């Protein structure tokens, strides 16, 4: 199939904007908890009426500082309550939010704030403030900077929200109402800068219409997961990333209770305390939950039981897709393992969650069936910054494991002759800020060229097989899509990252990094705890297990596309090292440059 579309389930208001959502919530559900924040180590509910009041108080402060309609205001912070509060406050002042990853360098800050022409910025920490100070002389438009956490520069130690609230005390309600109503559906809501896997980040202009079309149709299609007064979602993705922003706006639109987690290291504890009904994440999160649970079972002498339970869950899920369904014997075995294993795994995820939405990379069919089999269905989706996050996703009632689902209702997916995925719909960005050439290259006749390669099945379910620019062509002329193999290899507990190489080479190879959290546990279990890190990486038994991971990846492709040799790196790919984007995508060109010697070693020098 070359093209597929679904009718829209939500009509975008012609003259509205996203601030209408919080006013509507306060009017229709004033006492319903729509958001939660952590205070003194305890989750505290904030009602719809209370949230609106706090947003308007902060918006008054922005207006008092001179922020005008259409001005850009940068927001640099980890995921926390104040992020959502200030995002809606910026919109309520009639301005445009420019999100900045809290890990951004001074150079990245200078580029994003300079390119967007930001007149004001809110940062989270003193370190962020110092990074901004280092480039302040290159930002002539920037007039005001506030800090969420109390600063030595603020003698009263109030922090950004309290400082803005106090500064805006004299601004009339009518002024805030007028500012909130100034933007319409086609006004820019935010400029989200791409992660920059190649070249400088480009600013994607997303309008209020983009978010209405995106979140309105997601909430309508997944309505059973967005029940006001019952459902809740815990957000631990960066809100600076468009996927995190989708979660935020969709939760407010529904509305359902939204919580934030700043540090993923505390995620397990926060899941147990917050007990969400839905989880949003990237595949690496779900891979780690599975790998950690399996490792704990093996350490406790219950590895065989866990593996049998996993096989049963996968078989059960696959049987759900057949006409006959699971057999009686399989249902009985599944029921036994639900008491012994599955219930404990669901408890790790908070105990109430029945569904998760995963994006950013393929989860893998086997892991997808495993989670559905334990009673925690992971719905895979696909999208880009330019498509305001999800442009395709699996509906909860018609899931096809192994695909990224059907198009967002109201949009169209087309597969070009060369296999490229093309998109059309109201949710798309309107262009790249200050970059007409890049806009012309990406948008043609209303169609966005994603650069991804994929296919549609007879029911309109999309499968992504790789990036157009990342296709490798071996010396023998074989085209290889590296993502297919990499995702399967990376699913192994020992593998942290994998990059497939071989462009212009006689065969396909791979560079692997080992998961630093899992490696000590593996060494302990295999009687190798006394070995040094470098000795472990060269250990024949460890290399044999990594070969199994590679063999699993190779099983998905032809012999000509398979990895013949791999090399284990002592280093790690990370955002800090410059090899991963903030959304954990590999910067292939940077890896290829920094590890050119290792790549040459794969091919004999």
Q: Which parts of 440-552 are beta strand (E)?
A: 443-444, 447-456, 462-467, 472-473, 479-480, 495-501, 508-514
Tell me if residue 204 falls in helix, strand or coil.
strand
Q: What pLDDT, on a 0 to 100 scale, did the predictor assign at position 199?
A: 59
| Nearest 10 degrees: Cα torsion 298, 302, 307, 309 | -140
Helices (H) and strands (E) in the chain, counts: 22, 27
Residue showing tokens 């955002």? 575
The pair of structure tokens assigned to 198 is: 């190649």
Q: Which CATH number is 471-602's, of 3.40.50.720, 2.60.40.10, 3.30.300.30, 3.20.20.60?
A: 3.30.300.30
- Provide the pLDDT for residue 264: 84
As to burial, measured by CB atoms within 10 angstroms (0-12 exposed, 13-18 middle, 19+ buried), residue 119 is: buried
**Mind giving me the DSSP string for 27-41?**
HH-TTSEEEEEEETT
H helix runs in 398-532, sequence order: 436-442, 482-490, 518-525
DSSP lists the bridge partners of residue 99 as 75
Angle between helix axes 242-253 and 81-92 (nearest 10 degrees) is 80
Q: Can you give the pLDDT at residue 155?
A: 62
C-beta separation of 466 from 482 below 8 A? yes
- The residues facing 144 across adjacent strands are 120
N-to-C CA span, the chain:
45
Cβ neighbors of 81 (< 8 A, separation 6 or more) are 35, 36, 37, 38, 46, 260
Which two three-digit tokens encode residue 287? 């891979």
pLDDT, block means (10 residues), the chain with 605 residues? 93 94 97 93 95 98 98 97 98 98 89 97 96 96 94 73 95 96 97 73 96 97 93 93 94 97 88 92 84 85 92 96 94 95 91 88 84 94 94 92 94 94 97 94 91 93 84 75 85 91 89 92 90 92 94 84 92 86 78 90 80
Tell me which residue of 386, 366, 381, 377 sits closest to 463, measured CA to CA: 381
Q: Which of 92, 75, 95, 89 is nearest to 187 (CA)?
A: 95
Tell me the sheet residues that pair with 422: 414, 449
Other residues' Cβ atoms within 10 Å of the Cβ of residue 201: 20
Q: Can you read off the two tokens belonging to residue 109?
A: 């800050």
* Predicted model pTM: 0.84
Fold of 281-468: Rossmann fold (3.40.50)
CA–CA gap between residue 383 and residue 52 (Å, rounded): 30
**What is the DSSP-derived secondary structure letter of residue 580?**
B
Cα(68)–Cα(63) distance, integer angstroms: 7
- 471-602 and 17-183+232-276 share a CATH fold: no
CA–CA gap between residue 570 and residue 280 (Å, rounded): 32
Instruction: Report helix, strand or coil for 57.
Output: helix
* Both structure tokens of 221: 């299609």
User: Which residue has 């295999």 as its token pair?
Assistant: 526
Contact 562, 485 (CB under 8 A): yes
Q: Is the domain defined by 17-183+232-276 classed in CATH 1.10.150.120?
A: no
> What residue ranges do the domains of the chain occupy?
17-183+232-276, 281-468, 471-602
Instruction: Give, as one character, the DSSP assignment of residue 265.
Output: G
Strands (E), 77-217: 96-100, 120-123, 144-147, 188-193, 203-207
Nearest-5° Cα angle at 260, 173 to 178:
15
How far apart CA 254 and CA 227 sit, in angstroms, is: 7
pLDDT at 1: 65
> 11: helix, coil or strand?
coil
CB distance 590 to 559 below 8 Å: no
Token digits for 170?
Answer: 């004299």
Separation of alpha carbons 67 and 47, rounded Å: 27
Q: Are the C-beta atoms of residues 334 and 375 closer than 8 Å to each other? A: no
């Amino acid at each position: 199939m070359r093209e597929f579309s679904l009718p829209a389930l939500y009509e975008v208001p012609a003259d509205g904007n996203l601030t209408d959502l919080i006013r509507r919530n306060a009017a229709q559900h004033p006492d319903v908890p729509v958001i939660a924040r952590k205070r003194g180590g305890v989750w505290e509910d904030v009602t719809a009426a209370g949230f609106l009041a706090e947003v308007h108080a902060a918006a008054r402060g922005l207006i008092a500082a001179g922020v005008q309609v259409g001005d850009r205001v940068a927001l640099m912070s980890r995921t926390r309550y104040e992020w959502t509060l200030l995002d809606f406050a910026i919109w309520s002042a009639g301005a445009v939010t420019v999100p900045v990853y809290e890990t951004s360098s001074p150079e990245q800050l200078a580029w994003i704030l300079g390119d967007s022409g930001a007149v004001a910025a809110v940062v989270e920490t003193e370190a962020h403030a110092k990074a901004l100070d280092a480039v302040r002389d290159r930002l002539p438009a920037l007039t005001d900077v506030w800090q969420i956490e109390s600063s030595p520069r603020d003698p009263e130690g109030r922090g950004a929200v309290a400082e803005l609230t106090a500064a805006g005390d004299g601004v009339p309600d009518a002024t805030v109402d007028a500012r909130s109503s100034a933007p319409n559906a086609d006004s820019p809501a935010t400029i989200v800068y791409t992660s920059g896997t190649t070249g400088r980040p480009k600013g994607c202009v997303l309008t209020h219409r983009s978010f209405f079309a995106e979140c309105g149709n997601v909430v309508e299609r997944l309505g059973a997961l967005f029940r006001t007064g019952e459902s809740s979602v815990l957000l631990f993705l960066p809100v600076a990333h468009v996927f995190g922003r989708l979660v935020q706006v969709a939760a407010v639109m529904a509305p359902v209770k939204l919580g934030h987690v700043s540090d993923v290291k505390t995620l397990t504890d926060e899941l147990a305390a917050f007990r969400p009904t839905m989880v949003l994440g990237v595949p690496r999160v779900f891979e780690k939950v599975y790998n950690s649970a399996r490792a704990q079972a093996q350490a406790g002498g219950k590895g065989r039981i866990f593996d049998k339970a996993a096989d049963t869950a996968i078989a059960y899920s696959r049987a759900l897709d057949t006409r006959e369904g699971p057999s009686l014997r399989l249902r009985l075995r599944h029921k036994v393992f639900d008491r012994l294993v599955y219930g404990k795994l669901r408890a790790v995820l908070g105990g109430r969650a029945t569904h998760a939405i995963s994006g950013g990379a393929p989860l893998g069919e086997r892991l997808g069936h495993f989670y559905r089999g334990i009673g925690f269905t992971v719905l895979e989706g696909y999208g880009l910054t330019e498509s305001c996050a999800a442009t395709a996703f699996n509906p909860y009632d018609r899931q096809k494991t192994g695909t990224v689902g059907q198009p967002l209702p109201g949009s169209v997916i087309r597969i070009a002759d060369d296999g490229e995925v093309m998109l059309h719909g109201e949710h798309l960005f309107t262009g790249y800020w200050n970059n007409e050439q890049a806009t012309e290259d990406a948008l043609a006749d209303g169609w966005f060229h994603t650069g991804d390669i994929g296919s549609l099945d007879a029911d309109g379910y999309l499968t992504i097989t790789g990036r157009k620019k990342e296709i490798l062509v071996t010396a023998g002329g074989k085209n290889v899509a590296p993502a297919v193999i990499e995702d399967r290899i990376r699913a192994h507990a020992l593998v942290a990252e994998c990059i497939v190489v071989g462009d212009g080479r006689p065969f396909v190879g791979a560079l692997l990094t080992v998961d630093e959290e899992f490696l000590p546990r593996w060494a302990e279990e295999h009687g190798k705890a006394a070995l040094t890190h470098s000795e472990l990486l060269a250990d024949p038994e460890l290399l044999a297990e990594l070969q199994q991971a590679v063999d699993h990846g190779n099983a998905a492709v032809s012999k000509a596309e398979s990895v013949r040799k791999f090399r284990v790196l002592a280093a790690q790919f990370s955002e800090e090292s410059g090899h991963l984007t903030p959304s954990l995508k590999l910067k292939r060109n940077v890896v290829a440059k920094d590890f050119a010697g290792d790549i040459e070693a794969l091919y004999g020098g």
